Amino acid sequence: MTAPRDKFGRPVVVVTGMGIMTSLGAGKADNWAKLVAGESGIRTITRFPVDGLKTTMAGTVDFVSVDPFSSTGLSERMAELVTQEALEQAGIGAKADFPGPLFLAVAPVEVEWPQRRELGRAVGKPDFTYDDLLRISGGGKYSAYHHRFMFGSVAAHLAETFGTKGSPISLSTACASGATSIQLGVEAIRRGETDAALCVATDGTVNPEALVRFSLLSALSTQNDPPQAASRPFSKNRDGFVMAEGAGALVLESYEAATARGAKILGVIAGCGELTDSFHRTRSSPDGKPIIGCMNKTLADAGMTPDQIDHINAHGTATPENDKMEFNTTSAVFGDLAQKIPVTSNKSMVGHTISAAGAVEAIFSLLTLEHQRIPPTINYETPDPTILFNVVGNKARDARVTAVMSNSFGFGGQNASLILTREPA
Amino acid sequence: MTDTASKPGQTEVWITGIGLATSLGEGLDANWAALSEKRVNVDEKGFAPFIVHPLLPVTFDSQIPKKGDQRQMEAWQRIGTYAAGLALDSAGIKGNKDILSKIDMVVAAGGGERDLNVDTGVLTAEAKGANAPGFLNERLMSDLRPTLFLAQLSNLLAGNIAIVHGLGGTSRTFMGEEVAGADAARIALARIASGESDIALVGGSHNGERKDLMVLYEFGDFNLKDKFAPVWARKDHSGFALGSAGAFLVLESKAHAQARGAKPFAKLSSVVADLARRKQPGEMAATLEKLWAKLPRGEGKGAIITGATGAEPATSEERGFLKGHADFPVRATGTMFGHTMETQFPLGIALAALAISRGALFPPNDSTGTEIEMQGAPTQIVVVGAGHWRGEGMALVEAVS
């Protein structure tokens, strides 16, 4: 029997339900099977024409239908499906009556090109100005688009569908968003505000403008052929990340509440930490101090030392800068252990699910703990000689895993880390 | 369940810094003077038939010294980064590396500022027959400025504040229109009250002078058109006039503030928020009533500062709720500042703290009788924020005893 409080006297926060969707498929079983088999979900984009784009592949979720299609609509639908999966597993509350708040990581919402083009056509003349678009926007014809493109629309839909309590929070901390949603849930439970929290992260934004935006920042891989080999974390010939879609949902509960209702405990969120980098909008401080501080804060929050971490689920985007920085900072925190602890990047297979990544990778980390098997980093043919991680290259590896650190670093100086364990420490 | 009120044994949270850059001016004195003189800054012509409350121009250099930084931002981020700097100045912690390296930031943000020329260029070319499969891709690849993306990302307001002012604690950005501002204050307060944090920068910014936003709100017929009127006088001519503003607060535990000799404007006692379904008439008012009941109000003279938008049916429902609390004189910030969306709630807290610290509520500006004169000094002000479409929030700001 384990104490319901951690060594700092706070309620221990456990996971009792998980749902996931990536370009590999829907659900934990399908995703895990493909992940440990080293399959890639990256493929040539068919959703829209790719003519004129430098990057023509992505990890799209094409097996979920949304009508009328929008990136925000896809994000919402994926979030709904993964939440259903998580709630079924947790068996918590009643139908449409989840006993706690919702924390949703979601991509920033904007009116999208299909809708903008619809407006353009509705003007009905070849020469017009933005004022003409504005003039025809009212009158109720497009009222559904107002609701669709509210930033809070996805959270409002989920809150109504699943009956979460209070004001649902929609958040963005760029590529760290998924981790932040979990952190907010952990904090709410630790403060004693609630016994349960629903943490969801979703991103369905593979659309032309999003691809162009990342392309213009030279962030994306252009190794389009074959698409499955594009994402090459820790490899010498890595050249950028691969955009991808996906969603993850976690039901968090206090250990006390979970055990009181006899719930199966899937893992523990032992620690979380975040630290802002004020160096640059898209680049990390060259000394890596904010990332080092983030990892150290997370270890301190968990009350753990580096030698207690036996696996790192890396941010591992496969951009030249990130992977190098991640090795250097991990070395600063873990010392020689940075070259011994098995490290993997799920992004080699599912791509970078941006706003969802922190939650998707937390779930993969928890599945790693459950199965005692570390999924591979595929496309690891030419290791970068300056990155001396013990990369789980190309083939899954059985291992004794008791505690995983999962890292997320994003634009805007966002750094967040989580430590996940099997049993309360 | 997701409330944040100071509980016995929890830390008292003070508002020790306020930064305002609005359509009425920059800084506390300029805004207070305009409010006292019932001066409203509206532009009825520049975006006609739409009405906006434009930012009263500021010298961005004074808070954002590097031109390179200014160029990396669009207007909404410049306004916010500027106002955040004013808040840090107001709290006396500008440039204080020890404090700024640990300060926690919770920002309420929209984003998505667009290049209208690029959008119009694509659409008119398509109207003239451009229909090659890669047309959109090619135009976007050649026409979009690479840095525009960074001005569109919601969390890059926080990112810019961190870069320009040297903040190195935590950084979280909440989205979701009006209630995002309430949730930002709610979470920051909860973290300080529980001891997770000592000091936080909270707020938001909004550029109302954006036609792309007007298109979005016009989809729902929410824009005020043709003629300005106070929020309460829009019943038959409903809508909101977008406003430009940045409003930031420094929240701090009493102990942290006292240790550095900082003086409070007021204390932030409670922030609560909820999501009414708003499917049936009365649901929103019932939620406001529920939130009101959760506030640990005291005995002293009270007032209400609301971000009521002027959009219907939300504003009429809120007016019904307010009638039930007529002993609290009401002020609508939408009349004076326009609707600044995510920023309206932090702006309301800022004005509540300012009114308490100056010992008076600013005068009414309303012809319908919803706003009445208040004699004497308010010791507690309830900030109300009900979104034009969804989301309800409320805060209690009190005098420090």
B163 CB neighbours in chain A (<8 A) are 278-281, 413
CA A332/CA A369 separation, integer angstroms? 25
pLDDT digits (tens, 9 = 90+) for B140-166: 999 999 999 999 999 999 999 999 999
A117 CB neighbours in chain B (<8 A) are 123, 126
Question: Which residues of chain A from 388 to 407 reach within 8 Å of chain B, CB to CB?
Answer: none
CA A102/CA A165 separation, integer angstroms? 7
Measure B377 CA to nearest chain A CA, in Å: 32
Contact A424, A6 (CB under 8 A): yes
Helix or strand run (H / E) with residue A297: helix A289-302
Contact A92, A197 (CB under 8 A): no
Q: Select the residue from A116, A121, A212 to test the B interface by mutation, using most B Cβ atoms within 10 A.
A: A212
Nearest CA to A78 out of A250, A249, A247, A251 is that of A247
A111 → closest Cβ in B123, B169, B216: B216
Three-class secondary structure of residue B52 per DSSP: strand
CA B247/CA B307 separation, integer angstroms? 13
Locate tokens 């959008």: which residue?
B119
Measure B117 CA to nearest chain A CA, in Å: 8
B180 CB neighbours in chain A (<8 A) are 151-152, 169-170
Measure B36 CA to nearest chain A CA, in Å: 34
B162 CB neighbours in chain A (<8 A) are 276-278, 412-413
pLDDT digits (tens, 9 = 90+) for A165-174: 999 999 999 9
pLDDT digits (tens, 9 = 90+) for A187-208: 999 999 999 999 999 999 999 9
pLDDT digits (tens, 9 = 90+) for A378-418: 999 999 999 999 999 999 999 999 999 999 999 999 999 99
Q: What is the DSSP string of B134-195?
A: THHHHHHHHHS-TTHHHHH-TTHHHHHHHHHHT--S-EEEEESTHHHHHHHHHHHHHHHHTT
Does residue A315 carry a catalytic annotation? yes
User: Beta partners for A20?
Assistant: A248
Q: Select the residue from A50, A165, A171, A298 to test the B interface by mutation, using most B Cβ atoms within 10 A.
A: A171
Measure A311 CA to nearest chain B CA, in Å: 25
Nearest CA to A278 out of A289, A262, A267, A264 is that of A289
Nearest CA to A402 out of A377, A372, A374 is that of A372
Judge: A412–B159 Cβ closer than 8 Å, yes or no. Answer: yes
**Ranges in chain B, pLDDT < 50:** 1
Measure B283 CA to nearest chain A CA, in Å: 14
Judge: B217–A146 Cβ closer than 8 Å, yes or no. Answer: yes
Report pLDDT for B3: 59
Size of the A and B interface in Cβ pairs below 8 Å: 269
CA-based radius of gyration for chain B: 21
Report pLDDT for B10: 80
Three-class secondary structure of residue A199 per DSSP: strand
Judge: A282–B186 Cβ closer than 8 Å, yes or no. Answer: no
Report pLDDT for B286: 98
pTM of the model: 0.98
Q: Which residue of A has its CA nearest to B4?
A: A193
User: pLDDT above 70 covers what percent of chain B?
Assistant: 98
Q: N- to C-terminal Cα distance for chain A?
A: 12
Report pLDDT for A423: 77
The whole-angstrom distance between residue B156's C-alpha and the CA centroid of its chain comes to 17
pLDDT digits (tens, 9 = 90+) for B185-240: 999 999 999 999 999 999 999 999 999 999 999 999 999 999 999 999 998 899 99
Q: Which residue of A has its CA nearest to B389?
A: A147
Residue B286 neighbours by CB under 8 Å, 6+ apart: B276
A163 touches B: beta carbon within 8 Å: no
A156 → closest Cβ in B163, B223, B390: B390
Report pLDDT for A1: 41
Q: Is the pLDDT of residue A36 over 70?
A: yes
Residue B57, both tokens: 């121009």
The whole-angstrom distance between residue B62's C-alpha and the CA centroid of its chain comes to 22
